[in-house]
Amino acid sequence: MKKILQTILFIIFIHSLAVGQTEVSIQTNPEKIIVENGEHKKYLNFDFLAQNNSTDTLSLSKIVATVFDKDNHTIHQRFLDNNGTAPSIQTIPNRLFSPQERKLIFNPFSEFDIGLALDKIEFQFTFTSNKDEETIVKSVISPQNYIQKERYSFPLKGNILIYDAHDYNSHHRRFDYNFEPIKQLGITTNFMRYAYDFVILDSDNNQYVGDKDNPENYIGYGQNVYAIADGIVIYASNNHKDDRTFDIPEIANNPLELYGNCIAIQHADTSISIYGHLMQNSIKVKVDDTVKARRELASIGLSGSSYFPHLHFEVRTSIKNSAEGLPSYFSNISILETDTYQKLKSGLPETGNIIKTE
């Protein structure tokens, strides 16, 4: 009898999978998924686009991530579900899918121990209807380690706070390109997927002295910005005022409008480094200039979508709306640990780190 029940449950499960693939479709974005290797962790920065193809309203009720080794044995597993008084699935916003609705789901399982091989990861999504009928959909990924071909020097000098990087909670990571006003601008990917906001500090690690509403009180305001590697300038905007404003509709034609005064440099491997929120009239290069690593480019300002003086930095595949972000590792930084600085061997700083350049 037990064996018969197991067989029936197995058939129901397989049927659920078969139906699920048509009722709900899951797409990963970007298609090529990259593994970032930090000092102690590995990071997966990608999203799922989920489409409810059915005529029912569905609720995302469970996500399971299973890591397999090369022999297809389970070596790691995590999940979010609706169990408990404060269910973990609630950490995923916008879980309700109306008929034919498409939504973006940020991958909640983005950090893994550095020693764990990530050859194959299966994500299983469970969607529940109003009648408590379950639809189960699987998505299997095989991420690849990112190899940076260029040697990058950090774009600032001194003590720096990694104010915001691209971890799960970062606003760079949580850029919803499926949000209708964003889609109307022609944006279909996350070009700032691996972006950073850098803030220069004084010797006591203060961001500013005095009134924080005065830009000139920030330690970094007017400080120099440097090229991370050799390359050719392919974009340079110098005429935005340092007043936190930008032309939103213009982003449809030029996504770099978001960053106000901005420089883009293309490197030998075709990657492009972006330096944003620069001070008006501070840019020292022009389009088609050839620059060397550590060349002075401009000064930190308050142009574009910037709350306070800082450098927005990112590496990406192009300067178009179809660009995808790329990771960046720096060869010349140390991280503050307790009261001393230690060489950051991975070269990958994270949100909250205080670093200094060498």
Give pLDDT tens digits for 149-163.
Answer: 999 999 999 999 999
Query: How confident is the model at residue 21, as a pLDDT?
Result: 53
User: Which tokens hold the place of 235?
Assistant: 């974009």
Query: How confident is the model at residue 257, as a pLDDT?
Result: 95
Q: For residue 24, what is the DSSP state?
A: E
Bond prior to 99 in cis (omega within 30° of 0): no
Cβ atoms of 120 and 53 within 8 Å: the answer is: no
Bond prior to 215 in cis (omega within 30° of 0): no
Q: Convert the pLDDT of each residue in 265-307 to its tens digit.
A: 999 999 999 999 999 999 999 999 999 999 999 999 999 999 9
pLDDT over 70 percentage in the chain: 94
300: β partners: 278
C-alpha dihedral (343, 348, 352, 355), degrees to nearest 10: 30
Domains of the chain, by residue range, sit at: 2-145, 159-357
Cβ atoms of 248 and 259 within 8 Å: the answer is: no
Query: How confident is the model at residue 4, as a pLDDT?
Result: 44
Q: Convert the pLDDT of each residue in 317-356 to its tens digit.
A: 999 999 999 999 999 999 999 889 999 999 999 999 999 9
Cβ atoms of 49 and 31 within 8 Å: the answer is: no
Range 159-357 classified under CATH 2.70.70.10: yes
Q: For residue 141, what is the DSSP state?
A: E
Nearest one of 208, 204, 211, 210 to 221, comparing CA atoms: 208
Phi, psi of 301, deg, nearest 5: -135, -145
Provide the CATH topology of domain 2-145. Answer: Immunoglobulin-like (2.60.40)
Residue 14 has pLDDT above 70, yes or no: no
Residue in this structure with the two tokens 């999203």, named with its chain if needed: 47
Phi, psi of 68, deg, nearest 5: -115, 150
C-alpha dihedral (252, 95, 133, 138), degrees to nearest 10: 70
Residue 6 has pLDDT above 90, yes or no: no
